[in-house]
Each structure stands twice: as structure tokens, then as C-alpha cells.
Structure 1
């Protein structure tokens, strides 16, 4: 199966489509095209007419001879909320559960209408500071469903819906190997600014000032520098008023530059690291005034990114790259989305998937039952035929071997019991198989003065009646129980203290806990 995928980025002014390999290292770009976004078809990430856009994209993809049947959409929208959070160092399998539990604290909205995804930014393993840095994103369900519907209308299988910030980060993190760098990616109407330190995303912000605003400022500056006409006593005299157009543009850029300075200062305040290089991407990165102004205001070296490292190209694309130096950076988002995209999956899609899994499981159960029934029937028939043959053989020798009947009956019964026990053993598993290990661990880890007077166990729950000398010893016992393997959810509802006289006290309490089935499964796999 080909690993090629179609990556599509839909913007307010243009749609960028590229065919790229779906892999994390050294992505390969095969084909790429750009087409103007039809008027009134797209607004802040939302597609207003999926049928119309699907027909257009199918036509252009066919013309470009792009044959992949899988697609990734990169979404850019102000409706997508983002937040960085810090968690203690937990297992990856627990992260989604923690996020779901605390989602309302991260995003104070009605989360039933949102899809939440996350990216692990960094694992901090310092001696006194161990944590996980996560980048959380919440996208409206209707926004994401838009792209699922579009993929279906195009007849393509949706691989992922990515966020523009993640797509950009995936490709930019490998462009500068060491140090802290600030990347400015100038888009149609906004600019994405990312601070990356040794491949780790430290900060990412969007500024509502892009190529469209740059062009408007350029046209205004050129207009101000044009020839002015002044009249004297009815006579028209032409007076040239040469205005420094470059200087006017520079003044207009100060809003943009002030935002860059604010981001630089904020990054230093939270990360205590200074940026050592600024990198510009996009067509407006050729603007000399912007280049010079950024250097003048920040004192940081400014470079223009025209090539992307770790990206290879199909043979047919080489000529196009030679003719247009901006091809690489123009399709940066499309290339980056193929490396490690996020997964925005709406709740409705998840529900349909669960329903399909349930249907598939039922079908598998029915088919399995039929297969088992056929096998049992064939086995029974074969056993029957074998028994008939055995019976005839025994019949011939019955007079000589009168005791063979008892031996045969014992054999048949033993075989039946053996097969029955094998079936019972294969169908029965219980956590109580680890009961001896649990009791041994209780003896090793509980305090010496802790006495377990009774112990009740079921297939899932454990109850311990414990006696100790005082409440301090009871606290130590509770703490020790948390270090016992195979159990979790340790609780006690009441601690009773009885005065036995002569300053002798006995503290009673009942512990309830559950088997840690996940731990048991892992140990079973290891075995």
C-alpha cells in the first residue's frame, strides 16, 4: 500500500494541495498546486458549501494527476481554543483520562460541543522538577465535522484533521538544530509566530497581520509618493513630492514589530531564555524594510527561510522548485501535517465508530459461534465414527478380554472430563490467582504491629479488617497499602478506637480496595 497522502490547507484567499509521503522522518513531496479560494465559500475555518468545494477539489486533484485516496486537512480558525497545561509524570494511557476529567477547568465552555486533542510538548525529568508539558486544543464539533463531510463527498478516506500550529511546528522543529529560535510564518491575513528551543515548542502565538495587510500598506505608501498637483491663479503647476515610500512602510510595520517584541519579552519571562535567531517565511519575508526593522528593534539576526531541511522531492517536482524558490515554504503546512498530525475526532464520529465496533463484534460472535458449532459437530461425528470402529474391535475380543469394557468406559469418561476441564480452564480467569502473592506482599509491607483479623475477597473486590495500636500506626498502614501491587482505589470509611484500660488502646478499621486489573493484565502478558 502506498504511503502517499493528499494534504489540503484551505485559506481565505488560496487553497494549497500537495501530495506527500505519510511518515515522521524525511517527508517526500511529490506534487503541489495552489488555487484561489472561491468567493464567499470559506470563513474562519468553516466551509459554507461542501458540495461546491468538493467538486472543485476533485477536479483540480485529477488535473494535477494526484492519485492518493487518503487525505489530511489542516484547519486554521480563531474558533479553536488552545492552552498549555502541566501534568505530573503519568503514563501516556492515563493522559486522556486526566484531560477529560479536568477539561472544564482548562476550557470554560460547554464541552459537549467541542472536540479536544493534545500534543506532548516536553517531558521534564529534572531531579526536583518532573512533569509533562501538554498543548491542549479544543475545536468546535461542527467545524471538524465540516471536514469529515468534505472528505466523504470527495470520495477520500480522512486520515487526520490537523491544526495549523501543529503542522507548522512539525516541520520547523528540525530546521534549526540547536538554540532558541523565533519563526515568523507570514500567511494571507495573519502571521504564526513560534518559539522553538532545541526542537521543543516553547511558545506559539498568532498575530492578525499578514501578507494582505503588508500589500495594502505597500500600495498606500506608493500612492503617497506619487506626483501632487498644485494650482496657482488658475494655472496648473506640477510639483513632485518625493516621500520615502520605504520609510512609510516601515512605520506601518511597527504594529507587527511591536507584537513580535511583546512575544520575545513574554517568552523570556516564562522560559528565562533569549532567542538567538529570527527566521522569516512567506512571500512577504522578501520585504527589506521588515527585515531591517526587526533587526534594528530586536538586535537579533534575521534570516529568510527559502529551503527546508529533511524534506525530499519527487523527480517531477525538481524543475518547479528550481523555477520558484517559494515552493518549499508555501507548502510548509501541507508537508508538516504529514509528519505527526493531531486527531480531532468529533463525538458523533466516535459514537458511530463505537456502534460499528459493536456490530462487528456481534457479527464476529455469530460467525465464531457457527464455526465452533461446525467444529463441534465434525469432532463429534469423528468421535462417533471412531467409537463405532473401537466398538467393533472390542466386540471381536470381548470374550477374551472381558475387563476391556470397564477400561474403555474409564478411558471415555477420563477423556470427557479432561476435555471439559480444558474448556473450563480456557474460559475462566480470575484475579484471585494472585491471592497468594497479595498475601505475601501484605505480610512483607504492612507494619509489624498491624494485624489483619479478617480478609474477604471476590473476583474484583478486597476487604480487610485491620487492628493496630494507635491512629498513627493506622496512618502508616494506609500508606503501606498504597504500595501494594495488584490493588487500587484503597478506601476506609471509619476508624474506631477502643479503650481497653491501663492506657491500652486498639484501633479498628476496615479497608476496601479493588484489584488493579490493568496491572494484572500487564503481568499476565509478561508471564
Structure 2
């Protein structure tokens, strides 16, 4: 019991709570439950109406007889910025200092309002030198303060925080041994896909589409009755396969609800494969709230033409004897992973640390104890210790006086050497730290000035070499104009069109989705060796490639 914690993930619709082991290699789910997240809990990442949440949490803890009060919260927000960064190979206790020293190069924001944290992804070699590859996060301070306040109101002891992208990978790395696979997390309003190769994260994307549309389609169909809410429908879908119902109208709504999910998952896998020759995805590992819906694995396997399963993760988290009732471990995978090895967030500011040290130094003595001490001291004095004590005290005082008269010289010399050593270390670290992504600020400025207001930028991904844009426009002509505009940016040395797809909706409205990779000026991508082509030639080439793939060439 002493090493157990409550891992709590607060979503837009549902809150998941798990009692599990803290920082162990093979955690167990001792107790688990979920409840509907109250409206207006957070307002712009700050606490608003917290009492309904506390009441529902307390009710769940009491119902499941959970006494653990230590807590780990899972962070999931679009305001959390993430970057992959390569730094010199330094001691682990100096990584955070190095990141803060170069933070302005990683994140174009006011970092006084953010806290940096990181996860070591890999050790790489560049130009004959060993370096670290990190996933670095910038989390708003007000978000961290909100979770600290929430824990305090709920009478919980906050022991750590973890980022949702890090939490899931803890159990994936341990239990999935395939060389190359995609892990897909299905939630009510979001879908996260992580490409893992040789047990290392290669790519991670989150899309604002989830299973909510599918559940609502089944709810509105009346298959489970007329007076049934969203969460009751979801619970029944875990026990009865409605994804293969024969009713044509329901099937059309279900297919439409899955369209955004399957489309984005397929697009990310194709994007990765096109940038890694010979890379063939073995399977998809499924987890999250939607993973335990009956028939979900088979449905996605048929739609994506690749094996989809979450069975290996289910086997890694068997149901404990005390955890009674329906058991859906894939829904709680992120909560369990957050307790394995959470990211290093600083939960106390400098003032709080100083106050705790001050309180720790204070000695509290009860009146009875003080009286006993006085009696003992009196007895010692009566035994004639005072004369000898006075003699020794005079001698010590004389020696201390002589030492203090000369001590300042030694102190100043010691401080000088320490300051000199620290300065040389920081100077060497600064010289060794390099980056090629300084053009991101200029690129964003040019993007705001030159791009038309009616385009939809669906996602932006930045590395030290380039920036990738997923864009939706109304026609191929608009796509051509946008690529031509990007080619004229002063911060960009090369523009490549990676994919282009034209879609016609049921309302006979057409739109074009395409992905471009822009190489920064000074980046490492080699654009000079490539043959120069026009945008129209790029579009024709992509269309020909897509037609060949459709024909099975």
C-alpha cells in the first residue's frame, strides 16, 4: 500500500482513475473506475468549478474502497508544446540547465510562463561525437498550478505529473517487441498515433477526431433504446458488436464517423513509409477508451488493411482479485504508464522549498520535555563541570578568533575558483550546443503575412532541419499558389510536395489535402542535388503515383 498511487487522467468527457504501483517495472491495476468529467472544471487551463469533480472522485473512491491519497495526474492539452532536440552528451544533472540556457531556440514563446521537461529518446552520433536526442516539452505554469490546486482541494498529495505522450510509451516499449508498428489511442474526441521502430518513438501525431461521432450515430439510431445517453451507449457497445449491423442507414453513419480516424491514421503511416524506404508497418496496436468496443479491432483491420489488436497489452495488465466488475485495461493504459517513469516536472517553486527547509530546522519541544532537559543540565552543573567547561571555552574562543581573522582570504580564493570553473563549464556547453532551426520564427512571420486567410493548416511539425505542413484548400490551383508562395519565403531553401489528395464530399463540395516539407535556410537537407521541377509537374507526378498504387502496380 505504501508504494501505490492514484493515477488520474482528466479528459473532456471522461475522467479515468487507477490505483497502481509507483515507479515499478511491472505495475498492476488494483482498482479502477471512470466518471463523467463535470463541465467548467477548467477554464483556459485554470481551475473554475472544482467541487462537482471532488464529489464524483470521492464517491468513486468510497465505492471502490480506495484509501490511497498520493496522486499522479496525466497532462493532455493542445497548449503543451513538444520538440525533438539534439544536445551535447553532458551529465544527466546538467541537462535541464542546458535546455533552459537554449530554450529560446527551441520554443518561440515567453518561457517565464512555461516550465520545461524532457524525456531521453536516444543516444546518437553526429560528426563523430556522442549526443542526446530528447523529447522536450514546454508546459504552461498556470496548467501545473491548476493541477496542484486541484490535488489540494481533493485532499490528495501530488507526487508527480506526466505527459500523455510519454505515459503510453512506457508500457508499449516493454510489451510490444515488433520491429516497426503503429500504436493508435482512440479517445472520445482525439486520436493519437505513435510510430515505433526498434522500440524507439519515430513519429507521434494527435488529431481532433475520436469515436464520439460513431457512438452518437449508434445512440441516435435507437438500437439500444430511445432514452439512453452517450456513456450508456458506449458501455453497451463494449458488450454487443453494432459496428457490423446490417441496417444501411446506421452503417452509413458509422462509416462516416470512422472516416476521419481511418483517413488520418492511414495518411500518417503513408507519410512515414514514403520518407523511409523499405519501411513496412507490421501491425497496429490499439488502446484507449474506444479500444474495447466490441468488433473495433476487426473493423479497423478491414478498413486499414493491416492487422489491428490490443491483446498483448491486455495480457500485460490482468485483472486483480480485488478489482471486481467489468474490466477494460486498454482504457486505463495511459494512467498505468504515467506511474512507471513520469517526466521530470518541478512541483515546488523556490519559495516553497526555502520555507520547508526553514520549518525542518525548527525544533519543537513540549513543556514536559523542556523541564526534563533543565533538570539534567542542572545535575551536570552541580557535578563541577562549569569550571572545566569555561577553561575550554576560552581556549576555543581564542583559536576561533585567530582563524576568523584570516579566513576571509581562503573564502575569497575558494569562491573565485568555483566561479571560474562554473564559467568555463557553461562557456564550453554554449559553444558545443548547435541548432539549425533558427528560421522557425521568420517562417511563421512570413506565413502569417503571405498566406490567404481561407486556407486550413491542419497540423504543423518542426524538426531541426525542416517544417512540415498538412494543408487543406478548395482546389489544386490554390495548392499550386500556396506552394509557389512558400518557395519565395526568405527563411526556406527548398519546398517539396509530399502528398496530394482530392476529395469530393456527399454535398458535392471538393477540397484538396496536401502535405509540404519546407527546408530551413541553413538546414541539413540537401536540396541542390535534386532536379528542379515546377508545382504542376509535382502535382502530376503525385497523381500518377496515386493512380499506379490504386491499379496495384
TM bucket (normalised to shorter chain) is 0.5 to 0.7
Q: Is the 8 A contact 1:186 1:285 kept in 2?
A: yes
Q: Which residue of 1 aligns with 2:335?
A: 334
Deviation at 1:71, TM superposition (A): 0.9
User: Within 5 Å, which residues of 2 pair with 1:401-412?
Assistant: none
Q: Deviations over 1:61-95 (max 9, x none)?
A: 23321111211111222222222222222221221
Q: Which residue of 2 aligns with 1:66?
A: 66
Q: Which residue of 2 aligns with 1:277?
A: 283
Q: Secondary structure at the match of 1:332?
A: helix
Q: Secondary structure at the match of 2:57?
A: helix
Q: Is the 8 A contact 1:26 1:312 kept in 2?
A: no
| Mapped partners of 1:196, 1:103: distance in 2 | 27
Inter-CA distance 129–383: structure 2 relative to 1 (3 Å threshold) = same
Deviation at 1:362, TM superposition (A): 7.3
| 250-259 vs 112-121, which moves further | 250-259
Inter-CA distance 247–359: structure 2 relative to 1 (3 Å threshold) = same
Inter-CA distance 89–14: structure 2 relative to 1 (3 Å threshold) = same
Deviation at 1:243, TM superposition (A): 2.9
Q: Secondary structure at the match of 1:316?
A: coil
User: Within 5 Å, which residues of 2 pair with 1:265-344?
Assistant: 265-268=270-273, 273-282=279-288, 284-285=290-291, 291=297, 294-295=300-301, 299-305=305-311, 307-311=313-317, 314-317=320-323, 319-320=324-325, 324=326, 326-344=327-345
Q: Secondary structure at the match of 1:331?
A: helix
| Mapped partners of 2:416, 2:312: distance in 1 | 66
TM-score, length-scaled by structure 2: 0.59
Q: Which residue of 2 aligns with 1:179?
A: 179
Q: Which residue of 2 aligns with 1:263?
A: 268
Q: Secondary structure at the match of 2:51?
A: helix
Q: Which residue of 2 aligns with 1:3?
A: 3
| Mapped partners of 1:93, 1:259: distance in 2 | 39
Inter-CA distance 207–303: structure 2 relative to 1 (3 Å threshold) = same
Deviation at 1:282, TM superposition (A): 3.8
| Mapped partners of 2:292, 2:320: distance in 1 | 27
Deviation at 1:22, TM superposition (A): 0.7
Is 2:353 the counterpart of 1:350?
no
Q: Which residue of 2 aligns with 1:512?
A: none
Q: Secondary structure at the match of 2:175?
A: coil
Q: Which residue of 1 aligns with 2:146?
A: 146
Deviation at 1:415, TM superposition (A): 9.2
| Mapped partners of 1:45, 1:362: distance in 2 | 36
Q: Deviations over 1:474-503 (max 9, x none)?
A: xxxxxxxxxx99965789xxxxxxxxxxxx
User: Within 5 Å, which residues of 2 pair with 1:466-481?
Assistant: none
Q: Secondary structure at the match of 1:99?
A: helix
| Mapped partners of 1:73, 1:485: distance in 2 | 36
Deviation at 1:143, TM superposition (A): 2.0
Inter-CA distance 222–29: structure 2 relative to 1 (3 Å threshold) = closer
| Mapped partners of 2:117, 2:270: distance in 1 | 28
User: Within 5 Å, which residues of 2 pair with 1:495-510?
Assistant: none
Q: Which residue of 2 aligns with 1:234?
A: none
| 186-195 vs 50-59, which moves further | 50-59
| Mapped partners of 2:55, 2:294: distance in 1 | 40
Inter-CA distance 100–199: structure 2 relative to 1 (3 Å threshold) = same
| Mapped partners of 1:291, 1:387: distance in 2 | 85
TM-score, length-scaled by structure 1: 0.62
- The counterpart of 2:388, out of the listed 385, 400, 413, is 385
Q: Is the 8 A contact 1:250 1:290 kept in 2?
A: no
Inter-CA distance 124–274: structure 2 relative to 1 (3 Å threshold) = farther
Inter-CA distance 350–221: structure 2 relative to 1 (3 Å threshold) = same
Q: Secondary structure at the match of 2:79?
A: coil
| Mapped partners of 2:402, 2:107: distance in 1 | 55
Deviation at 1:351, TM superposition (A): 3.5
Count how many residue pairs are aligned between Structure 1 and Structure 2: 390
| Mapped partners of 1:141, 1:108: distance in 2 | 16
Inter-CA distance 3–426: structure 2 relative to 1 (3 Å threshold) = farther
Q: Which residue of 2 aligns with 1:508?
A: none
Inter-CA distance 161–85: structure 2 relative to 1 (3 Å threshold) = same
User: Within 5 Å, which residues of 2 pair with 1:479-498?
Assistant: 488=425
Q: Is the 8 A contact 2:73 2:160 kept in 1?
A: yes
| 283-292 vs 251-260, which moves further | 283-292
Give the superposed CA RMSD.
Answer: 4.4
Q: Is the 8 A contact 1:11 1:42 kept in 2?
A: no
Q: Which residue of 2 aligns with 1:209?
A: 209
Q: Which residue of 1 aligns with 2:463?
A: none
Q: Which residue of 2 aligns with 1:498?
A: none
| Mapped partners of 2:393, 2:166: distance in 1 | 67
| Mapped partners of 1:486, 1:46: distance in 2 | 39
Q: Which runs of 5+ in 1 are unaligned?
A: 224-240, 365-373, 389-410, 434-456, 463-483, 492-527
Q: Is the 8 A contact 1:184 1:194 kept in 2?
A: yes
Inter-CA distance 306–176: structure 2 relative to 1 (3 Å threshold) = closer
Q: Is the 8 A contact 1:51 1:150 kept in 2?
A: no
| Mapped partners of 1:45, 1:9: distance in 2 | 15
Q: Is the 8 A contact 1:277 1:301 kept in 2?
A: yes
Q: Is the 8 A contact 1:12 1:43 kept in 2?
A: no
Inter-CA distance 66–124: structure 2 relative to 1 (3 Å threshold) = same
| Mapped partners of 1:169, 1:417: distance in 2 | 64
| Mapped partners of 2:77, 2:205: distance in 1 | 13
> When you count strand as a share of all residues, which structure comes out higher?
1
Q: Which residue of 2 aligns with 1:359?
A: 358
Q: Which runs of 5+ in 2 are unaligned?
A: 224-245, 364-376, 429-553
Deviation at 1:5, TM superposition (A): 0.9
Greater Rg over alpha carbons, structure: 1
| Mapped partners of 2:422, 2:288: distance in 1 | 56
